[in-house]
Structure 1
Amino acid sequence: MKIYTTAPLEDPRKARTIYKELEDIGYDGGFSFEAKHDPFLTLAVAAEHTSTLRLGTAIAIAFARNPMNLANLGYDMQSISGGRFFLGLGSQVKPHIEKRFSSVWSHPAERMREIVLAIKAIWNCWEGKAPLNFEGKFYRHTIMIPAFNPGPNPFGPPPILTGGFGPLMTAVAGEAADGFIGHPFNTRRSLLENTLPALEKGLSKSGRQRSDIEIICATLVVTADTEEAFEASKLAARKQLAFYGSTPAYLPTLACHGWDDVHAELNRLSKAGRWDDMTGLISDEILNEVAVLGERHEIAGKLRARLAGIADGVSITHNRCPDPGHWADIVQAFKREG
């Protein structure tokens, strides 16, 4: 199992050093995330300052772009990184797509599937495998002249991984993509009961098997060196989980444990703006099921136990711990145990 993390980049200029630090620590890969900054530019910089670290967008917002634009970005990043790139795509939510990006939101799972297939059709054209003739419900790409055809990529096209949570979007990864990026608001049980069956449904539809895709699960980690820091980390995690748990889209994780009433109350409090009151509803039981908690020397083993038989990789995350060196000893222990 590989170990990854998303690089914390409040300042994109630090891409020159942070990804190299992740590589030196021993991470298998470092990801970017589309929030305050473009997720591709930082990785282009990172590629010039690393040599072995896998680089990926986890995630870039697909619906804010189009397949041709994404095909160019992914193809160029694969070349610049020397074959170390993956194109990770996510949907975002309707208000942001329409009001922040001024783009179109409709049929999100169907649209994501078509974006992936369109990108692959474009790459097949560039690789000399087939003429460009993609005509879908949402996107149409039927012209490619030599002036705009980069030709075969020296490292081949990069894999496409899609992120998702609900069954329809998760199934898209199984049907059309090369991998799946799992959301951190999951438990081992929800991954087994909700996520894997949805992926299998998609795989079955395309006639593929589990071994044909890569699964990376983002996982919330809570640990610290002192009791005070540990309690602070747990509180931050509870706040993060309370926010997720208040959103109807994330109900399935709570529901498979019989915690539907927790979601209902979190949702009610969120609508009343009582965010601080929500934290107390995330019990120790919920926290321990969703996050991986423990002393530092326990975390590597607990991560493997959480995702054994489920994932090919884990991306460790915690919004309170932006220092890429915070988990250095855990990464090294994880690699030793692997």
Structure 2
Amino acid sequence: MKVYTTAPLEDPRRARTIYKELEDIGYDGGFSFEAKHDPFLSLAVAAEHTSTLRLGTAIAVAFARNPMNLANLGHDMQSISGGRFVLGLGSQVKPHIEKRFSSVWSHPAERMAEIVRAIKAIWDCWEGRAPLRFEGRFYHHTIMIPAFDPGPNPYGPPPIFTGGFGPRMTAVAGETADGFIAHPFNTRRSLLENTLPALQDGLLRSGRTRRDIEVMCATLVVTADTEEAFAASRLAARKQLAFYGSTPAYVPTLACHGWNEVHTELNRLSKQGRWDDMTAVIDDAILDEIAVVGERHEIPGKLRARLDGIADSVSITHNRCPDPRHWADVVQAMKQG
């Protein structure tokens, strides 16, 4: 199993060093995510300071951009990184697309599928495989002249991963993408009962098989060296899960375990602005099902048990309480088998 992580970059200047640290530890890949900073710029810097680490966005907000500029970004990042780039895309939610990015939100699953197809059509044009004639419901790309054609990528086009949670967006990955990024608000049971069947539906529609796509599971890890740090990690994880659980979109994971009332209570408290009170709703049973919790030496085995038969790669995450050593011992144990 490949081992990835997202880099906790509160300060983008750390891109010069943090990705190199991840490479030296033994990670297969280091990813950025779109929050306070642009997800592509740090990776361009990281590419100059690493040589083997896979670099990707997990995720960049697709609906804030269009297929042509995403195609340019993906093409150039693949060249700069020497063929180590992954273009990871996600949708974001409607209020942020409309009110933060001032972009269009509609038919998210269909729009995401069309973005992926359009990007690949643009790359096919640049690779000399076909003229550019993509005419979809949302996007139209029918002109390309030599002045704007970068030509074939020396490393070939990068893979496109899409992130998702619900069945329709998950199926989009199976139908159109090269990889799928599973959300951390999942349990082994929800991945088996909700995620994999939806992914398989998309694969069947495209005439592909499970071997044709990489499944990467972002997994919340709670561990530490001291009792005090362990308690802080657990508390931060419970706060994060309470936030997710208050959102209607994430009910299916809770429903798998008969925890529908947990969402009802979290949603009620969130509307009252009682964010601290929400944390207590996430008890140890819920935390242990969604996160991988344990002493450091237990984490590799627990990760394998969680994802065996489901994932090709794991992305170790806990951005609200990042591990100071980037889980170096966990990564080494995972890589040793």
Q: Which TM-score bucket, shorter chain as reference?
A: over 0.9
The Cα of 1:322 is off from its aligned counterpart by 3.1
Secondary structure in structure 1 of the residue aligned to 2:332: helix
* 1:331 paired residue number: 331
The Cα of 1:80 is off from its aligned counterpart by 0.5
* 1:152 paired residue number: 152
Distance 1:78 1:22 in 2: 19
Pairing of 1:222-261 with structure 2 (within 5 A) = 222-261=222-261
The Cα of 1:307 is off from its aligned counterpart by 0.4
Match of 2:150, as an amino acid?
Answer: P
Deviations 1:94-124 (A, max 9, x none): 1111111111000000000000000000000
Match of 1:250, as an amino acid?
Answer: Y
Distance 1:249 1:311 in 2: 22
* 2:315 paired residue number: 315
* 2:165 paired residue number: 165
* 2:47 paired residue number: 47
Confirm or deny: 8 A CA contact 1:7 1:324 kept in the other structure.
Answer: no
Distance 1:185 1:322 in 2: 17
* 1:262 paired residue number: 262
Deviations 1:182-219 (A, max 9, x none): 10000000000000000001001111100000010000
The Cα of 1:319 is off from its aligned counterpart by 2.3
* 2:2 paired residue number: 2
Deviations 1:219-261 (A, max 9, x none): 0000111112111111111111111011000000000110001
Pairing of 1:1-338 with structure 2 (within 5 A) = 1-323=1-323, 325-337=325-337
Distance 2:64 2:135 in 1: 20
Gaps of 5+ in 2: none
Match of 2:222, as an amino acid?
Answer: V
The Cα of 1:277 is off from its aligned counterpart by 1.1
Deviations 1:260-290 (A, max 9, x none): 0111111111111111111111111111100
The Cα of 1:318 is off from its aligned counterpart by 0.8
Confirm or deny: 8 A CA contact 1:25 1:325 kept in the other structure.
Answer: no
Confirm or deny: 8 A CA contact 2:97 2:104 kept in the other structure.
Answer: yes
Q: TM-score scaled by structure 2? A: 0.99
Secondary structure in structure 2 of the residue aligned to 1:305: helix
Identity of aligned residues (%): 85
Distance 2:290 2:205 in 1: 30
The Cα of 1:62 is off from its aligned counterpart by 0.3
Secondary structure in structure 1 of the residue aligned to 2:40: helix
Deviations 1:292-329 (A, max 9, x none): 01110010111011000000100011123335624111
Secondary structure in structure 1 of the residue aligned to 2:314: strand
Confirm or deny: 8 A CA contact 2:22 2:326 kept in the other structure.
Answer: no
Match of 1:307, as an amino acid?
Answer: L
Distance 2:36 2:323 in 1: 18
The more displaced of 1-10 and 323-332 is: 323-332
Distance 1:61 1:40 in 2: 11
Secondary structure in structure 1 of the residue aligned to 2:163: strand
Deviations 1:48-68 (A, max 9, x none): 000000000000000000000
Distance 1:323 1:14 in 2: 16
Confirm or deny: 8 A CA contact 2:236 2:321 kept in the other structure.
Answer: no
Match of 2:258, as an amino acid?
Answer: G
What number of residue pairs does the alignment pair up? 337
Match of 1:246, as an amino acid?
Answer: S
Deviations 1:33-61 (A, max 9, x none): 01111111110000000000000000000
Q: TM-score scaled by structure 1? A: 0.98
Distance 2:325 2:225 in 1: 13
The Cα of 1:29 is off from its aligned counterpart by 0.4
Gaps of 5+ in 1: none
Deviations 1:58-89 (A, max 9, x none): 00000000000000000000011000001000
Confirm or deny: 8 A CA contact 1:87 1:161 kept in the other structure.
Answer: yes
Secondary structure in structure 2 of the residue aligned to 1:281: coil
Distance 2:175 2:2 in 1: 23
Match of 2:215, as an amino acid?
Answer: I
Match of 1:297, as an amino acid?
Answer: H
Distance 1:126 1:319 in 2: 37
